[in-house]
Each structure stands twice: as C-alpha cells, then as structure tokens.
Structure 1
Amino acid sequence: MNELNNQFIVYALSYLILFLICFLAGYRQELAFFFEFRDLKRFLKQLEEEVSDVKRIIKEEIKKIGVSWQDVEPHYETLTNFFIVPPVGDEPVGSIERLEQILEAASEQIERKIDLLIPQADNELKANMKQVFLEASRLNRIYKVVKHFYFTGVKSRNLTVLVQALTQLHFLKREAERSFNAVKTYLQGSLPMGWGVGALTAYEMMEGAEDVKVDGEVLIAEKRDHNKQIVIIKPKGPGARTGKNMGKVVVREVRRLGKPLIIIVNAQAKMEGEKSGAMSQAIGVAAAPEPLKYQIEKIVARKRLPVISILIKLSEKEFTEEMNENLRRAVEKAKDAVKSLIEKCRQPVLIIGLGNTFRIP
C-alpha cells in the first residue's frame, strides 16, 4: 500500500512539474521581461534622485553667490535641457569647421546665460558654473533616454526594446556617475580633478619661465632649458576651463618656433586590466575635441613635425573626482618623461598640457 502511495506521489509531482514547465514556457517572455525590467526601473529611480540632488546642490551654490533662486529657476530648465546637434556627417568636406563653429556658438551661449544669471561672480566661478551646467544637462539627457526606454518598454512589453536598453545600461550608468561626480567636484571640491593631469604637468613645468602671458583661455609660458627654447601652453585656470582657443594658439606658436618637437600631455581612459596612473607614449596627436585635434594634425602634417603624446591612464571615475596621490605621482613621472625628451632633442620644444584646469592656476 505504501509503495502504491509513493508511486502516486511521484506521478503526481511529475505531472505537476510538466504542467508548470508547459505553463511557464508560454509566459517565458513575460517572465524574462519582469526580471530584466527591474534593473532598468532601479536605474531610473537612481537617476531621478541624482537629478534632484544636482538641482539641490546648484541651488545651494547659487544662494551662496548671493543670487535669488527664484531669479535663476526659470532659466534652470533651459540650461539643463541644453544639448548640441552635431553637423551632417555624410558630407566630410568642411565637417570639422562646422563642428568647431557649433561648439563655439554653444560655449558662447552658455557663457552669456551664466553672465546674465550671476553677474557678480568672478570669472573663475563663472567658468566652474559653466561646466556644472554642462554636466547637469548631460545627466538630465541620460535620465531622459533611460526614461524613454522605460516607458516604451511598459507600453509595448516588447523584450527586444528592453534588450536594446539593457545593452546600453552599463555605458549609461558610467556616464551618469561621471557627470554626477563632476558636478559635486566642481561645486564642493578643493583639489584638481583627475582630468587635469595634463594641465597640471604643464603648469608645474612652467616653473622658472621668463615670460608668461594669457591669450583667451590659454596660458603661455616660455623659457630656456638645456639651451633650447621651450614654450609651454595649457588652459588657463584656476577655473574649470579646457582652452577653447587652444588650437589657434598651438598653430601660431608652431609657426613662430619653426620646426619644434611637439609634446602633448593628456589623460586617457584606461582599459580594463590596466593600472590607474600608468603612463604610455604614443606618436600622434592625442587631443580632443575633434577641431583641436584636426588643427594640430593639419599643421603637423604640413610642416612634417614630430609629435609625441604622453598619456596618463585614468579610470572613468577618476576623470571627474579629485586627483588622488596615485595620479599626483603619475604627474611627476610625466614631467620626467617630458624632461627626458627635451634632453634628447635638438630643436625647440612645444609642450601642450591638455585637460580641465579646475583648481590649477
């Protein structure tokens, strides 16, 4: 009797399991959708909180400056919804010039808006606030993209749409974290950010320069070392600038120096497995944005000049966080590498320190 009961239980369980498998197979897409959708919903919630936090941090900073938030708030949405439409890419002729014009126009528009909102602030604080609003608008854009994916998925309940969103989720998370950290660093940081390793290298190499001058957003220093003419240029600090007229200054200095060795020091995102703070050398122009890279490459090719780029590896987070001791040591190594190149060459040298000059004079 017990044996019959046991067999009955086994058969019943087998049929129950078979039934569940058949039942769940019919709803496998819905189940997959449910489990995968949670990640997207969780990230959307995180972005909502970060967008709110950014607004709160900016509001506090505006009040510190002495400006009423009521006067700024109507313009806040305009600034944080600001983005750049790239030029036509299918027509290569003149595309760099068109992109340069768009970037310059966008930069000037934001600067005018900030001048209007906080006229009593000094130029360095205005430069910081410009970058703050750029990062806030980037974060807001990511939030809108994720929100679009979320509601499209809710409406269609289409697993293909969800998979499309999830493939971009890791990238969007990194970009959102980078922008959120950047806003906090610009408004609360007291040290240079990691992105400024190239600019800091150039600044420290300006020590002992006989002639230092400013041209727009670019600082230019000149000195002699190892009986060679050395010109060092970097974005002007200590506000958060990247040197929007850097390309024109580089071209002018190259023409003045004749046939210099060009040394570029810049930050580079490290690959997975690479050590943060590691340094590498490359032949070619490691510069951004594209108009700057194009302007330097154009005159380099025309005059057949040697170009060496010294790149300091950073993680995604380190770009927008305060510079740590590891990166400070990397700056010292970069300086040694530049000095070694100067000793070995026989012509004038043009050193270009790129990056963000937040908290770097």
Structure 2
Amino acid sequence: MDIQSTFASQTPFQDNIVAVILQVLWLAFFALYMFYGQKIQVKIMLKEIEASLFRLKMMRNRGREITISTIKSISKNGDDPTERIDRLLEHVYIPPVNLDPSGIIRRLEHLINVRDFKFKEEVKMMIPDADDAQINNLTNMIEAATALNQIYKTVRHYFLIGKKTSSFYIILQLQMILPQIMMETKAYARALVAFKNGQPIGDGIGPLIAARLMRGSELYEIADDTVIGRVPMEGRVAYVLKAKGPGGNVGKPGEAIRQLLEEKEGEISRIIIIDAAQKFEGEKPGEVIEGTGVAIGGPGVDKYKVEEVATKYKIPLSAILIKEGIGDVVSTMRKEIADSVNDAIDRIKRIIRETTKEGDSIIIAGIGNTIGIAQ
C-alpha cells in the first residue's frame, strides 16, 4: 500500500513535467518557425526548382544535339555545323519600339521577315543542296532548339537571382509558373522529333482542313509561301488558301487575303478562318467550336492585315477553332485532332449555306504550320 500511495502521489507531478516539456517544445518550434520558417521554405523551393532546372538543361542539350546530328546527316560537304548552330541558338529577336504605335505593324513585319530570311540563309550555308521543304523543316527545328535554350537560360537567371538574394517572392513566383513552363518545354522537345521527321503537328490542323478542301483544284502562289485554289462549294465559289507545304511553313495568310480582296474589289461575302485554339483543362482535344473574328495567332501582322481589309470592305468574319492543349500545338498531331477534320468541314459548309447566297464568293483560310501537309 505504501508503494502504491507513493506512485500515485508522483503521477500528477510527472504529468506536469510532460506538459511543461511539450509546451516548451511547442514554443521552441513556434519561435523557430517565426524566425526561420521562410528560410526553410526557400531552401525547399530552391531544391525543387534546381531539379526542374536540371531537366530543362537536359532537354536543351538534347535539342542541340538533335539539331546538329540532323544537319550533319543531311549535309554532304562534311563541314561541322556546331559553331554555327551554337551561334543561332543564342540569336535574339528585338521587337520594334512601341512608344509611337504608328506604323509598328509594318516595322514588325519587316523584322520578322529579316529574322526568317536569316535563319533560312544560315541553313542554306550549312546544306547548300537542300530543297525548300528541308530548309523550312530545319529552320523550324533550329527555332525550337532556340526556344529550349532561351527557356532554360531565363529560368536559370531567375533561379540564380532568387538564390543570390534569398528573395522569397522571386522564388515563389518561379515555382508557381514552373509546371506550365515544363509543359511547354516538353512540347518543344517533342516538336524537334516532328520537325526532324517532317511529321504534321497539332498547329497544322488548319492547313490540313484547307488541303482537304482544295484537293484536286488548280493552285497558284498568291503570296510568299502561300497557295490558293478556286473550289466550288455548296453552289458558291470558295477561295481556299494555306501555307505551301509539305515543308514547315506558316506562309503569309494576311497578305494573301489582302491581295485577293483587292483583286476582287471586296466582292467577297464572307471570310472563314480555320485555326487551332488552346483548350481549357477538362475540354477534349480535337473539339470544334465556332467564333467571330480573325483566328490567327503569332505576332499579329497577319491578323492586323485581315482585320484592316475586312473592315474596309465590310466583310463578315467567321472562325472555326479546333481545341488543343499546350503540348499538342507543336507536337506530332494526335489522332483526336486529325479526326476533327470532317466535323470542321461540315461546320464550314453549314456556315456557307446559312450566311451566304448561291453564286457568292467566300474565302477559307487554313492557318498554321503546314509541315508534313502537302496541297
């Protein structure tokens, strides 16, 4: 009984000791978190970013190797293209000044044309006997490798700045957008394979639909790298245009539409633009929707030209959009996207029947990169 009573008398004291120890530990943890919690978070985020940066570097290096090896395999002169490729990977595009917006589209178009010409000339110097399709495909490949290089260097820049300054907000912002950056980078990495093999990519759905519509018709080149055909459709005359394939090329659809409208003096009942559009999460790739306006992406030169000339002649604009994910646009075309062609054509014909009269003339433009897609 004495032992039991002694043990019972010590239990409350021991419980108090445990409670005090737990409280001290909790206060110590709270103080540690208050003073060092953010630093610990920064260290964890930096480790995660560093791991992603390593993967970006691997994809960048892989893209460079694929580009160099592809050019070596095609070239017959035996010259090593490594130095020239490395120089192109560091090439930067400087946009025109926009403080005075007057004439900016004209200046922007000039700079884009100069840049495209430079890349193609560089490819010709490396492979003098390459045909137009090979030149366009290799130019696309170099541009994809350049994009991989720029993405890697940009992420590395902000990673090192955040690490040097221990800035929580720089590191936090980088970590927040890194998943989307990785998705886009993986898409560019897959695009290299498509450009190497000359395979159609998701962005080519517009030219693919246009090619289906103009099949069997007589074609001619209306603008640089842009072909057009006169196609009878639903009792109307459809002028169907696309970039000249099968090399990787987007053509000049804006200039082509402008020239055609000027030639016809505005006697066009409707313009229908077909292009890929980014889907929302939860939507299925290859879903076809309709819209109003000029569905042309990119820097805006072609979009501006079409809007200007359509406004001048008061021509209504319709859009057929095929939904695609970020990774689908520059990757090899998925079956779901290719299968949307028939649905898109049915919608085009319905729009023509409902909004125009028999005997009218319309323009149908398939927008996008026509790699792997002939006329």
User: Given the two structures, how large is their TM-score scaled by the length of structure 1?
Assistant: 0.94
Work out the CA distance in 2 between the residues paired with 1:60 and 1:117.
Answer: 12
The one-letter amino acid paired with 1:35 is I
- The answer to whether the 8 Å contact 1:217/1:246 transfers is no
Work out the CA distance in 2 between the residues paired with 1:201 and 1:138.
Answer: 28
* 1:45-56 equivalent positions in 2, closer than 5 A: 45-56=54-65
* Alignment partner, residue 143 of structure 1: 152
The one-letter amino acid paired with 1:219 is V
1:5 is the counterpart of 2:8: no
The equivalent position to 2:239 in structure 1, one of 222, 231, 234, is 231
* Alignment partner, residue 128 of structure 1: 137
Q: What is the SS of the residue equivalent to 1:238?
A: coil
* Alignment partner, residue 34 of structure 2: 25
Q: For residues 270-292 of structure 1, what are the alpha-carbon distances to aligned partners after superposition, in whole Å with 9 as ceiling and x for unaligned?
A: 12232221111111111133110
Work out the CA distance in 1 between the residues paired with 2:202 and 2:334.
Answer: 8
* Alignment partner, residue 214 of structure 2: 206
* Alignment partner, residue 298 of structure 1: 308
* Alignment partner, residue 192 of structure 1: 200
1:275 is the counterpart of 2:284: yes
The one-letter amino acid paired with 2:236 is K
* Alignment partner, residue 57 of structure 1: 66
The one-letter amino acid paired with 1:6 is D
* Alignment partner, residue 229 of structure 2: 221
Number of residues of Structure 1 aligned to a counterpart in Structure 2: 358
- The answer to whether the 8 Å contact 2:162/2:170 transfers is yes
- The answer to whether the 8 Å contact 2:63/2:148 transfers is no
Q: For residues 109-157 of structure 1, what are the alpha-carbon distances to aligned partners after superposition, in whole Å with 9 as ceiling and x for unaligned?
A: 1111111111122211110111111111111111111111111122111
1:250 is the counterpart of 2:257: yes
> Structure 2: which 5+ residue stretches go unaligned?
1-9
The equivalent position to 2:368 in structure 1, one of 351, 355, 359, is 355
Distance 1:343 1:208, change over 3 A: farther
Runs of 4+ aligned residues of structure 1 deviating over 6 Å after TM superposition are none
Shift of 1:100: 0.8
Shift of 1:68: 7.0
Shift of 1:323: 1.7
- The answer to whether the 8 Å contact 2:294/2:303 transfers is yes
1:108 is the counterpart of 2:117: yes
Q: For residues 48-85 of structure 1, what are the alpha-carbon distances to aligned partners after superposition, in whole Å with 9 as ceiling and x for unaligned?
A: 10011112212321232135786211111211112211
1:79 is the counterpart of 2:68: no
Work out the CA distance in 2 between the residues paired with 1:12 and 1:263.
Answer: 75
User: Given the two structures, how large is their TM-score scaled by the length of structure 2?
Assistant: 0.90
* Alignment partner, residue 6 of structure 2: none
Work out the CA distance in 1 between the residues paired with 2:179 and 2:58.
Answer: 18
* 1:335-350 equivalent positions in 2, closer than 5 A: 335-344=345-354, 345-346=356-357, 347-350=360-363
- The answer to whether the 8 Å contact 1:62/1:68 transfers is no
* Alignment partner, residue 158 of structure 1: 167
Work out the CA distance in 2 between the residues paired with 1:120 and 1:161.
Answer: 49
Q: What is the SS of the residue equivalent to 2:231?
A: strand
Q: Which piece of structure 1 moves more, 1-10 or 280-289?
A: 1-10
Q: What is the SS of the residue equivalent to 2:110?
A: helix
The one-letter amino acid paired with 2:80 is D
Work out the CA distance in 2 between the residues paired with 1:238 and 1:270.
Answer: 26
- The answer to whether the 8 Å contact 2:75/2:126 transfers is no
- The answer to whether the 8 Å contact 1:83/1:137 transfers is no
Work out the CA distance in 1 between the residues paired with 2:307 and 2:78.
Answer: 45
Work out the CA distance in 1 between the residues paired with 2:233 and 2:166.
Answer: 67
Task: Give the superposed CA RMSD.
Answer: 1.8
Work out the CA distance in 2 between the residues paired with 1:250 and 1:331.
Answer: 22
Distance 1:67 1:73, change over 3 A: farther
- The answer to whether the 8 Å contact 1:62/1:69 transfers is no
Shift of 1:228: 2.3
The equivalent position to 1:240 in structure 2, one of 248, 255, 259, is 248
The equivalent position to 2:25 in structure 1, one of 16, 24, 34, is 16
